[in-house]
Amino acid sequence: MVLTGNQFMFFLFAAIIVLFSILTVTSRRILRAATYLLFVLISTSGLYFMLNYQFLAAIQLTLYAGGIVVLIIFSILLTSHINQKFEPVDWKKKVSAAIAVIAGAIVCLTAILQFSFHANQAIAKEINMDVIGNSLLNYGENGYALPFEVISVLLLAVMIGAIVIAKKKKE
């Protein structure tokens, strides 16, 4: 069958996401798992680009792929042997987790797919930096000033917390 460009890109990204996320959770070497995670995140960002949310995609790449994965790799380096292979997990755990997960997936999918969502034909509002900046600090209609402030407090708390927890205790 003939795929349009969009469809092809979508299926590519989708395949990468699913395949690499499965590999992340089943890989036996930790650094490979981190790398697979990186690929998943990049593909997700690709999906955002397809949906015309450029800012969000950029943030995804910067923060997730560039920040969090790097942080994870640093912590891997700090805490374990890189070349150490994981032991295989007890098969009872795997089977029981798989059953729970597959059951959950089936329930979710049947619940979602019974609705026929139609794309709304309304005119899409363009999101550019102007709009984002205004909305983030707007305290009136369509304004996200409150979550913004809350996030800033949260980031402060997390910074302090991370420093305190990870600090070496004086002897």
Partner 1 sequence: MIDYTYTILIPLIPLLMFIFLGLTGHKFKAPTQGILGTLGLLASTLLSYYTAYQYFFNSIKVDGAYQKIIGFHTLWLQFTDTLYIDLGVMLDPISVMMLIVITTVSLMVHLYSIGYMKGDKGFSHFFAFLSLFSFSMLGLVIATNIFQMYIFWELVGVSSYLLIGFYYEKQSAVAAAKKAFIVTRFADLGFLIGILILSFNTGTFDFQLLTNPHGAAILKGGSIAFMGLSTMTWAMILIFMGGAGKSAMFPLHIWLPDAMEGPTPVSALIHAATMVVAGVYLVARLFPVFAISAPSGLEVVAWVGGFTSLFAAVIACTQIDIKRVLAFSTMSQIGYMMLALGVSGYGGEHGLGYMASMFHLFTHAFFKALLFLGAGAIIHAVHSNNMTDMGGLRKHLPITHITFLVACLAIAGIPPFSGFFSKDEILVAAFESNKALFLIEYLVAGLTAFYMFRLYYNIFWGKQTVYHATPHEAPATMTLPLIFLAIASATTGFIPFSKFVTSDGLPFETVTEWGIAIPSVLIALVGIAIATVLYYKPTEIPSKMAHALGGFYKSAYHKFYFDELYQFVTHKIIFRYISTPIAWFDRHIIDATMNGIANVTNRVSNAIKGFQSGQLQKYAYVFVSGVVVLAIIFIYLLKY
Partner 2 sequence: MYQEIPLQYFLIISTLMFFIGIYGFLTRRNLITMLMSTELILNSVNINFVAFNRYLYPDQFQGHFFSIFIIAIAAAEASLAIAIIINIYRRINNINVEEVDEMKY
Rule CB under 8 A: which residues touch partner 1?
Answer: 93, 96-97, 100-101, 103-104, 107-108, 111
Residues 5-24 that bind partner 2 (CB under 8 A): 6-7, 10, 14, 17-18, 21-22, 24
Stretch 136-165: interaction string toward partner 2, x if CB under 8 A? x-----x-x--x---x--xx--x--xxx-x
Among 12, 82, 102, 137, binds partner 2 (CB under 8 A): 102
| Residue 12 binding target from partner 1, partner 2, none, CB below 5 to 8 Å by type | none
> Helices marked H in 27-171 — which ranges?
30-50, 54-59, 69-79, 91-113, 129-137, 145-166
Rounded distance between C-alpha atoms, residue 23 and residue 34, angstroms: 10
Q: Is 23 exposed, middle or buried (0-12, 13-18, 19+ CB in 10 A)?
A: middle
Rounded distance between C-alpha atoms, residue 84 and residue 27, angstroms: 12
Cβ at position 109, least distance to partner 1 in Å: 12
Stretch 41-80: interaction string toward partner 2, x if CB under 8 A? x--x--xx-xxxx--x--xx--xx--xx--xx-xxx-xxx
Strand partners, 81: none
Cβ at position 121, least distance to partner 2 in Å: 9
Torsion of the alpha carbons at 135, 136, 137 and 143, rounded to the nearest 10:
50
Report the residue number, 108 or 139, with the smaller CB distance to partner 2.
Answer: 108
| Residue 131 binding target from partner 2, partner 1, none, CB below 5 to 8 Å by type | partner 2
Q: For the stretch 34-47, what's the b/e string if a residue is b when 16 or more beta carbons lie within 10 angstroms of its beta carbon?
A: bbbbbbbbbbbbbb
